Structure 1
Amino acid sequence: MYLRTVHAEHDIPTLRAFIRANPLGVFTTAIESPISHFLQSSHIPWILDVSDEQNPGELGKLRGHMGRANPQAKAIIHDLTSDSGLSKGTAPRLSKDVLVLFNAPEHHYVTPKFYTETKPSTGKVAPTWNYVAVQVYGRATIYFDSQSHETDAFLSRTVADLTQLCETSIMGYENPWSVDDAPESFMTLLKKAIIGIEIEITDMGGKWKMSQEMKEGDHKGVVQGFETMGTELGKAMADIVRERGELAEKRKS
């Protein structure tokens, strides 16, 4: 992802908060495999673990799971089991970095008609698309041995934590559904059908492409343009554009 300076966000606590608010990430691997494509991606919800929330530099780890029947999971397992030096009972790590891309639900086309300063004066305007995204690079440890206690413990904890996050933070339930509400035999079968993924984050960066590079009149035009759409999405876009414009000005000063 191209992180142009004016759009880039490198504040780690801000990136952590974004991931937790938008936990569905696109998990991408690059694996030489005779059974699948070299590049594969899957949408996976993630838990972000940070040992010290007060440490503004700690990147943390991502935890998630995916279906064992997923072609990407099959390629991962094939790659790991082809290593003759694999230690039995220990969750192995992929040799190459992986990428996870998180996107905000608010994104929209920006018409040149919004540029009320430049369009009337020079006409040198072009359409674009405003959006917010965070990319994460890291090293992935894979829990796929269904006979391993380590795998069982990882999957049990991850499924429970993801459920708690989604039931409370996303759904807002005061009495959330819990994994314990399901029969134990059902959960045992479920865990055999998935593999666990833990990513030690080595780098992350964010992109808030929200017209903050535009001239003042054009920036205000974008805010007004989104507001006059009269939709919830338009209002949300206007709020983010305004907020990022104010932040850009604050950083300049």
Structure 2
Amino acid sequence: MYIRPAHAELDIPTLHAFIREHALGLFTTAITHATHPTIQTSHIPFVLDRPAPPSPSPNADASEPATKPPLGVLRGHMARANPQAKALIDHLKSRGAESASASASSSSGFLSSWLGSSASASTTDARPTPGPSSLSDEVLVLFNAPEHSYITPKWYTETKPLTGKVVPTWNYAAVQVYGRARIYYEQDDATASFLQTQVEDLSRLQEELAGHERPWEVADAPTSYVDALKKAIIGIEIEITRCEGRFKLSQEMGDGDWKGVVQGFKALETDKAKKLAGMVQERGKQRGVDS
């Protein structure tokens, strides 16, 4: 995502709050595979685990640079029937098979050199360790605010009548996250535990945000039904390595044009336009402009 300095948002608490409010992310992978498309994207609702602030060490050397704090972890799930999930599973299985083959060959060769060629026949086949498998390449998740809009040049009430050098643009807010993903796809205890926690946390958070007086809980559904559904999904856990936002909300405009955008949205008198006017005004506070 191209981020102009005027639109950049790099404050981690602000970005985390945005993700929490707009939890539906576009999960993108680029996996080279013989039978699957390389680039795939799916809409996935995520839970963000924010790291606790680090405690200062009494023995820390003030001359040493501070350790960069962790950026958090995203947790989600997707249907096994999703083509992207199938690509992930096939890729990890093929990589695991290659690793197991290489491990078995290396082990067999080492033992044979000490015990003779017959030793290789008695070695146990190498098998992947149960639990999640990690992707070697980065993944990308893009979170978008639902409110975005075309900006007509007619709202640039200062520049348009003065020079006419104005063109349309688009206002929006988005946060992109890069990270390393672990995929829970095996039918084992680790996957079942991860998925149970993930669906419970996701439901609890979204019921809370929706403001329901009596929130629905996963425990309200029959356990056998939930267990059956969990077998049809896989878990995704992403350790965030980079997080950055672009809040493109007219903050780079001159005062007169900026005020024209605010008034233009307000004049539309729709819920969406009122929300966008508020977003533009909120960003305007950073430049000391009052509409």
**TM-score grouping bracket, smaller chain normalisation:** over 0.9
**Counterpart Cα distance in 2 of 1:248 and 1:178:** 44
Q: Is the 8 A contact 2:174 2:246 kept in 1?
A: yes
Aligned residues of 1:12 and 1:57 also touching (Cα < 8 A): no
1:79 pairs, out of 78, 91, 113, with: 91
Alignment deviations for residues 177-205 of structure 1 (CA, whole Å, 9 cap, x no partner): 11111111111111100000000000010
**In structure 2, distance between residues paired with 1:53 and 1:104:** 27
What is the alpha-carbon distance in structure 1 between the residues aligned to residue 215 and residue 277 of structure 2?
33
Q: How many Å apart are 1:173 and its aligned residue? A: 1.1
Q: Give me the whole-angstrom Cα distance separating, in 1, the residues matched to 2:157 and 2:231.
A: 58
- With over 3 angstroms needed to count, the CA separation of the structure-2 counterparts of 1:206 and 1:57, relative to structure 1, is farther
- Confirm or deny that 1:187 pairs with 2:226: yes
> 2:13: which partner in 1?
13
Cα offset, 1:245, TM superposition: 1.3
> RMSD over aligned Cα, in angstroms?
1.5
Q: CA deviation at 1:57?
A: 4.4
1:152 aligns with 2:170: no
Q: State the identity as a percent.
A: 56
Residues 110 and 193 of structure 1, relative CA distance in 2, 3 Å threshold? same
Alignment of 1:118-133 (within 5 A): 118-133=159-174
Which has more radius of gyration?
2
Query: What do residues 143-186 of structure 1 show as CA deviations (whole Å, max 9, x unaligned)?
Result: 0001x1110100000011001111111x2112111111111111
3-state SS of 2:179 partner: strand
Deviation, 1:51, is 3.0
Matched residue SS, 2:186 = coil
Q: 1:97 and 2:138 equivalent?
A: yes
Report deviation, 1:88.
Answer: 2.7
Q: Find the residue that maps to 1:140 and give its secondary structure.
A: strand
Give, in angstroms, the shift of residue 37 of structure 1: 1.0
Equivalent AA in structure 1 for residue 13 of structure 2: P
Indicate the residue corresponding to 1:30 in structure 2: 30
**Number of the residue aligned with 2:177:** 136
Q: Equivalents in 2 of 1:174, 1:7: separation in Å?
A: 38
More helix by share: 2
Secondary structure, counterpart of 1:228 in structure 2: helix
Q: What is the Cα deviation at residue 249 of structure 1? A: 3.6
CA distance in 2, matches of 1:67, 1:225: 43
How many pairs were matched up? 248
| TM-score, with structure 1 as normaliser | 0.95
Q: CA deviation at 1:54?
A: 7.4
Q: Provide structure 1 residue ranges, at least 5 long, that are not aligned to the other structure.
A: none
CA deviation vs aligned residue, 1:107-153 (integer Å, no higher than 9, x gap): 1100000000000000000000000000000000000001x111010
What is aligned with 1:215? Answer: 254
- SS of the residue corresponding to residue 247 of structure 2 reads strand
- Give how far 1:90 is off: 2.7
- Describe the SS at the equivalent of 1:174: coil
Match of 1:166 in 2: 206
Once residues 154 and 203 of structure 1 are traced to their aligned partners in structure 2, the CA distance between those partners, rounded to angstroms, is 24
Contact kept? 2:181, 2:237, Cα under 8 Å: yes
Structure 1 distance, partners of 2:216, 2:281, is 38
- Pair 1:70-2:109 in alignment: no
1:77 and 1:110 map into 2 onto residues whose CA distance is 43
